[in-house]
Structure 1
Amino acid sequence: MIRCDVAVIGAGTAGLAAERAARGAGARTVLIDPEFNGTLCALAGCMPSKLLIAAASAAHQVEQAPRFGVLPGPMRIDGPRVMTRLRAERDRFLSFTRESFDDLPEGTALVGRARFSAAQRLTLEDGREIEAGAIVIATGSRPVVPPPFRDLGPNVMTTDTLFELPDLPQRLAVIGAGPLGAELAQAMARLGVRVTLLDSGDAVAKARAPAVNAALGAALSEDLRLILGVETSAERLENGEIRVSWTGEDGRAGQDDFTHVLVATGRAPVLSGLELKASGIDLDEDGQPLFNRLTMQCGNTPVFMAGDVAADAPVLHEASSEGAIAGRNAAQFPKVDPFERHVFFTIAFTDPPSAAIGAAAKDAAISASADYGDQGRARVEGRARGVLCIHADPGGRLVGADLCAPGGEHLAHQLAWAVQSGATAAQLLDMPFYHPTLEEGMKTALREICRRSGTSEPPSRDVGSPSGS
């Protein structure tokens, strides 16, 4: 019998944060994982996708250079070199995570699959038993592949397999226009792949604001074929290609043949094999554990959740935060403290980037927008497009934002910090805005919020520069 204060199941981002937090609080810990292969972010998520986007950005810059009078000559994209660099850099990121496993105290890392045999007891597949004061479930998620795309061969991929391709596809269908699907579809298209992006819904990258959705959809449509509001089916042809068919409620129908299909319809929590009934925790109708997102505790039990398996906020910074909360509370169980969560914050690394922060327009008293279609700095750089929407309460305090604009990943951070700190539109306008920058563009929306909330703008400190340009 192995005895410890806290047992953590899963060595991804959330699990590592939970183990570290629990050990930092003085707990004896064990970390259980079947492979210790690294985090989802490094292996098949954030980092390899951004490496592909970086290659696509380089190709796009070459393609756009002539508009500035720069003539680089014919461009050739070497697909094998793109994918080789991607994997080399990805493996470098993975190595850092794997090295962190070596730094764990001796006996902490246990290789195997765990299942509950009681609320505070786990059994590994090799028969070893673990008795813990508290247990953190951080088993992550796996891609969901809808029935029409199952069993059609290796050319139907998920992000778990996409990055192992030796070369870029020739013709690619991307099923699912969520943030990752939109990112990868645009990146592939800019690398010379003929791409069709399909989704049953009407929103791209989960855009909440109609103006943002329209702007992002228009941008993507310049690079690829975008088909929304359709149901899809597929069949494997004798030559190994995949025929995808689609139909919409409005009578639209079509089909095309593709060398590859990327299914990006989301990920599901990995809960199978855990024998959750033995843990004593309550489950919802879908078999998902019920937990408090401020404590990550399941009911009043010594079981905690963290990361993608919690299906609450499946992004890396939230997984790390949830792991830390779960680990600290597991270490001090039965004492459990609530922790304030970060403001809701997501980014899709499309071009332009899109983001959602805090409350949506429907939950705010005031919503004002700024048009980036003719914004000064954006026009200088040849990327004047998009829109930024800022939402506020009746007194002008910022409560959320939605955007699709050049420099959006940086604008989104500034707005997320402002929302989380409780800043007002007037307070932001009193901050320095350098000229000419993309940040100046948000002044239009901030001034409109001041006007509609009846709050006074601070005295202008601009000297001769066009405000908001």
Structure 2
Amino acid sequence: MTPVSEVDVAILGAGSAGLSAYRAAREHTERVLMIDPGPYGTTCARVGCMPSKLLIAAAEAAHAVDDAARFGIDVQGVCIDGARVMARVRAERDRFVGFVLDDIERIDPTHRLQGSARFVDPHRLQVDGPRGTAVVRADRVVLATGSRPDVPADWRSALGDRLIVNDDVFDWQDLPRSVAVVGTGAIGLELAQALHRLGVRVRLLGRGPKVGPLSDPALAALAARTFDASLPLQREATVLRVERLGDEVAVHWRSASGTHGERFDFLLAATGRRPNTDALGLEHAGLACDDDGVPLHDSTTMRIGGSHVFLAGDASDDRPLLHEAADDGLIAGHNAGRYPDVRTERRRTPLAVVFCEPQIAMAGRSHRELTAAGTRFATGAVSFENQGRSRVIGRNVGALHIYGERGTRRLLGAEMLGPAAEHLGHLLAWSIGRHETVDEALAQPFYHPVIEEGVRTALRQLRKALDTAEPPPCEGCSPGD
């Protein structure tokens, strides 16, 4: 093995977190090396945010045609050309990936090494790549190795190439006739609805009662009712077995209504993701991990224990979102670059969006987090069912809940299911991040007629709740009830 020149910082992974960490570390030292097995291109660009939104955009166009009759417009002769749909998805996906590759190509070649790295000891990494094996000695290390779909092993052995994950969808040459989607989280919900709207026969199966990430009980129940009515959805379903029958997949599941079986072209497993940390030889670096193999770390510094190793992005298994991964990378990169001067960084306001219809968004602290922390808060709510602009455009489904702190009157968080939630979520996240009170938020302008007027209604309800004396606690009640 031929040693590589010693470096101050080695960054494992060239995704969103790794690239951010690289840029941040270089502000403190030029002795930085980014190690990645390839192919280059972030999860977001290749198999995540961008290609999924391209598929969703096609689905929205098809749904707009289907929904035109409610406005008195009849459309004749509509045909969904699956090959053309997927050709655009792949072409635009490749364009976005190309931008990432261009960024990587601009990085000094002496700062890049292709290969898979693992710890030999706390400061030495063995890198196996296309040009052989090398050893890198690094004073500090950033782990930005991302995550991968977590799929039951017996499904893989039983179904072969008829079992797919979201990564595989975006390489399709054409739309299939039918797909079973297992998992009602963000990925499963988005893809199942998009494929359903594009004419694919879909069955969405979820283990629990919820659909999507909403934690507010009232909103979670509303989401379940909404998607029950608009999707071939089976919640609280237990997959009993799967089998391959020629070029088809047979899925057998049990629900409250009995045992069921159905055949599909593919089974799409959206059953969660697991961090890519199991092959890093973390035991040789003396790094303590949780039961899922995630190194124990401080999310304000991204430092693993008291070590010289830092964590970033999906490998941390905290919030697997692009902007969070980029923030992780900045924090980890700066702290690794200026080590041992490790600093605590203030995290930006949490924000998450699911691009289903109606959309789901969560800003600031969730209902679950506030309740678990024992925070004294009140809730302001609005239904979009009769909200003016929402009815005008025929998207009057869902509701918004905003949470405010008793005493300070500060906005703490919001959860919503409804039209334009991606935009409302941003507005509320910014207000929460500025520590605005409900009164300060209501002092802002609201045009008419716009969906944002629904935010004003919820804020007015929140103000009224905060102005009302807090009811005495009752047995079995939680804060915010």
TM-score bracket, normalised by the shorter chain, equals over 0.9
Give the Å deviation of 1:238: 3.0
Cα pair 2:25 2:333 within 8 Å, conserved: yes
Provide the rounded CA distance (Å) in 2 between the counterparts of 1:242 and 1:233: 13
Cα distance between partner residues in 2 of 1:283 and 1:236:
35
How far off is 1:239 after superposition? Answer: 2.8
Aligned to 1:218: 225
Task: Give 1:33-432 correspondences, 5 Å limit.
Answer: 33-125=36-128, 126-151=132-157, 152-248=159-255, 250=256, 252-361=258-367, 363=370, 364=375, 365-395=377-407, 396-432=409-445
1:218: Cα distance to partner? 3.5
Moved more, 28-37 or 312-321: 28-37
Query: Distance in 1 between the 2:60 and 2:168 partners?
Result: 22
For 1:33-82, what per-residue CA distance to the aligned partner results, in whole angstroms no more than 9, with x for missing partners? Answer: 11142000011010110000000000011111122122332210000111
Q: Structure 1 counterpart of 2:172, which letter? A: L
**Alignment check: 8 A CA contact 1:120 1:134 kept:** yes
Aligned counterparts of 1:178 and 1:121: Cα–Cα separation in 2: 39
Aligned residue type for 2:236: G
Residues 357-408 of structure 1: CA deviation (Å, up to 9, x unaligned): 2223352520121010011001110111110011111032111111001011
Larger CA deviation: 191-200 vs 445-454: 445-454
Q: For residue 154 of structure 1, give the secondary structure of its aligned residue in structure 2.
A: helix
Deviation at 1:251, TM superposition (A): 5.5
Q: Which amino acid aligns with 2:162?
A: N
| Deviation digits for residues 291-313 of structure 1 (CA, Å, limit 9, x no counterpart) | 11000011111100000011011
Structure 2 counterpart of 1:155, which letter? Answer: R
Task: Indicate the residue corresponding to 2:453 in structure 1.
Answer: 440
> Retained in 1: the 8 A contact 2:380–2:463?
no
Whichever residue aligns with residue 367 of structure 1, its letter is T
Q: Which amino acid aligns with 2:189?
A: A
Q: Answer whether contact 1:234 1:242 (CA < 8 A) is retained.
A: no
Q: Is the 8 A contact 1:190 1:223 kept in 2?
A: no
Letter in structure 2 aligned against 1:113: S
Deviations 1:294-340 (A, max 9, x none): 00011111100000011011100000000010000000111100101
Hey, what's the Cα distance between the residues in 1 that align with 2:261 and 2:214? 26
2:165 maps to amino acid: T
* Equivalent in the alignment of 2:473: none
Q: Letter of the 2:180 partner, please give it.
A: A
Q: What is the alpha-carbon distance in structure 2 between the residues aligned to residue 377 and residue 313 of structure 1?
A: 33
SS in 2 for 1:451: helix
- Provide the secondary structure at the position in 2 that maps to 1:206: coil
Please list the CA deviations of residues 401-440 of structure 1 after superposition, one character each: whole Å capped at 9, or x if unmatched.
1100101100011111111211111111100001000000
Q: CA deviation at 1:258?
A: 1.0
Task: Answer with 226-235 or 175-184: which moved more.
Answer: 226-235
Distance 2:46 2:350 in 1: 25
**1:433 and 1:318 mapped to 2: Cα distance?**
30
CA distance in 2, matches of 1:336, 1:134: 12
SS in 1 for 2:304: coil
Q: Give the stretch that moved more between structures: 124-133 or 11-20.
A: 124-133
C-alpha distance in 1, partners of 2:227/2:155?
24
Q: After the TM superposition, which of the residue ranges 43-52 and 442-451 deviates more from structure 2? A: 442-451
1:453 maps to: 466
Give yes or no for contact 1:148–1:233 (8 Å, CA) kept in 2: no
Contact 1:194 1:224 survives alignment (8 Å) = no
Q: Which whole-Å CA distance do the structure 1 matches of 2:236 and 2:154 have between them?
A: 17
Q: Distance in 1 between matches of 2:264 and 2:27?
A: 51
Q: Which moved more, 1:208-217 or 1:194-203?
A: 208-217
Q: Aligned-pair distance for 1:169?
A: 1.7
Distance 2:270 2:235 in 1: 14
Superposed CA deviations along residues 223-281 of structure 1, whole A, max 9, x for unmatched, are 42111112113333433211111113x46321211111110011100113211111122
Give ranges in structure 1 of 5+ residues lacking alignment.
Answer: 456-469
SS at match of 2:53: helix
Tell me, what secondary structure is at the counterpart of 1:8? strand
| TM-score of the aligned structures, taking structure 2 as reference length | 0.91
Q: What do the CA deviations read for 1:121-156 (whole angstroms, capped 9, x no partner)?
A: 211123311111210011100101124522202121
Q: Aligned AA for 1:163?
A: F
2:466 maps to a residue whose letter is S
| Native 8 Å contact 2:379 2:465 kept in 1 | no
What one-letter code is carried by the residue in structure 2 that aligns with 1:293? S
> What percent of counterpart residues are identical?
42
Which whole-Å CA distance do the structure 2 matches of 1:247 and 1:378 have between them? Answer: 38
Question: Secondary structure of 1:300's match?
Answer: coil
Aligned to 2:17: 14
Contact 1:189-1:223 within 8 A present in 2 as well: no
1:4 and 2:7 are equivalent in the alignment: yes
Distance 2:236 2:448 in 1: 42
Cα distance in 1, alignment partners of residues 104 and 43 from structure 2: 15
Distance 1:105 1:184 in 2: 38
- The offset of 1:222, in angstroms, is 4.0
User: What letter corresponds to residue 269 of structure 1 in structure 2?
Assistant: P
Match runs of 1:21-40 below 5 Å: 21-40=24-43
CA distance in 2, matches of 1:202, 1:285: 25
- Gaps of at least 5 residues in structure 2 are 469-481
Please, which moves more after superposition, 184-193 or 139-148? Answer: 139-148
When structure 1 is superposed on structure 2, of 149-158 and 73-82 the one drifting more is: 149-158
Paired AA for residue 433 in structure 1: F
Query: C-alpha distance in 1, partners of 2:399/2:273?
Result: 29
